Amino acid sequence: MISVIGSGLGSLVAGFGLLTIKNVIMIAVGCALLYLGIKKDYEPLLLVPIGFGALLVNIPLGDMMAPGGLLRYFYDSGVLTEIFPCLIFVGIGAMTDFGPLLENPKILLLGAAGQFGIFLTLALALLLGFSKLDAVAVGVIGACDGPTAIYVTSKYAPHLLGAVSVAAYSYMSLVPLIQPPIMRALTTEKERKIRMQYPHKSVSQTLKIIFPIGVTLITCIIAPKGTPLMGMIMLGNLMRESGVVSRLTKASENEIANIVTLLLGLSIGATMEGAAFLKPQTLIVLGLGLIAICLDTVAGVLFGKLMCFLTKGKINPLIGAAGISAYPMAARVAQMEGRKYDKHNFLLMHAMGANTGGQIGSVIAAAVMLSVLKGMGII
């Protein structure tokens, strides 16, 4: 009788005995993510579920990621099948207004330059000894686009999913700290003061409706491996602009996006189990992710300077930094930097154009990369 009571009591403290130092560290990391999300307001919609997922998966005997575990179901059915990132993209498409971009389509090119960090970081990762597919996953952090990074990583380097996702979302929220020093270092005060004209003409609704259909057809035929991502973001945008399915549009940008964000965040947190996550490779991935976003900014600003030169000073190079996918943060950073040097300089709409171009650019860059990999026989 006493031995039965003893074993019953023992089972209540067994978890403490099985708690490893790695579990404790990862619980602390989870708490740090919760702190950043709740107290500092850094991407709370994602950092809160990711942080809590990291807590849950590091509780011994909780078996959250064991076969049949709750988080294992979320992960297998939503992340491994690519459903979550694609559904998030429907919501992003439904929320995005491409109007500023359509008014000045040349700005789309800044959205391409803002992706160069992906490829440069990929090359750097290869130099550091990462395998080809791991390097692809690390490079895609430079897309500055969580769903794209998750899509590519879960498909080709699932063991890096936790590190890549945390890097992508953390650095996205740190864009206001990362970008300004680079923008100031690469531009002159005269360039930062350039005022850009606002086009007098607006964009017709017909154009806004045809745009997502055309973009889907053109980009998916050029880079078919990106069809799931580009198709979903443009479907969301078509629903928004057509105005005939407002119920679906509202559901996409609210209920669906919210539910999927919760499940996606928990699933990412679930990949942060101590034994799998705490490796030197994780630190290198985090470091390379930071480099990727810095390189994106450098390439965007330098391309902005080139466009400034070619247009004889009509483009403010600061908006080049907004050619990444961190929407709308990167656009706000460009606007704030411009106003520091000229209080009456309003770059926001142009920067928004570059920023939405960056959203399209990040998906195209990932699609081009996957299609080239397919062509080379790597995937």
Positions in the binding site for other proteins (CB under 8 A) = 102, 105-106, 108-109, 111-113, 115-116, 118-120, 122-123, 126-127, 132, 135-136, 201-207, 210-211, 214-215, 218-219, 222-223, 357, 360-361, 364-365, 368-369, 371-373, 376, 378
Distances (CA, A) of 327 to 40, 192, 257, 290, 374: 19, 21, 16, 18, 29
Identify which of residues 83 and 207 has a Cβ nearer to other proteins in the complex: 207
Identify which of residues 192 and 305 has a Cβ nearer to other proteins in the complex: 305
Q: What's the min distance (Å) between Cβ of 353 and other proteins?
A: 11
Number of residues written out for the chain: 379
Hey, what amino acid is at 115?
Answer: Q
Q: What's the min distance (Å) between Cβ of 204 and other proteins?
A: 5
Bond prior to 49 in cis (omega within 30° of 0): no
Reading the block at residue 169, the tokens are 């979302």
DSSP SS3 for 62: coil
DSSP SS3 for 225: helix
Q: What's the min distance (Å) between Cβ of 97 and other proteins?
A: 15
Tell me how far apart the alpha carbons of residues 266 and 269 are, in angstroms, rounded to a whole number: 5
Tell me how far apart the alpha carbons of residues 42 and 314 are, in angstroms, rounded to a whole number: 34
Tokens 């740090």 -> residue = 32
Identify which of residues 48 and 321 has a Cβ nearer to other proteins in the complex: 321
Residue 34: name the closest of 53, 56, 52 by CA. 52
Q: What's the min distance (Å) between Cβ of 131 and other proteins?
A: 9
Q: What's the min distance (Å) between Cβ of 241 and other proteins?
A: 13
Identify which of residues 57 and 144 has a Cβ nearer to other proteins in the complex: 144
Q: What's the min distance (Å) between Cβ of 186 and other proteins?
A: 18
Identify which of residues 18 and 123 has a Cβ nearer to other proteins in the complex: 123
Identify which of residues 131 and 254 has a Cβ nearer to other proteins in the complex: 131
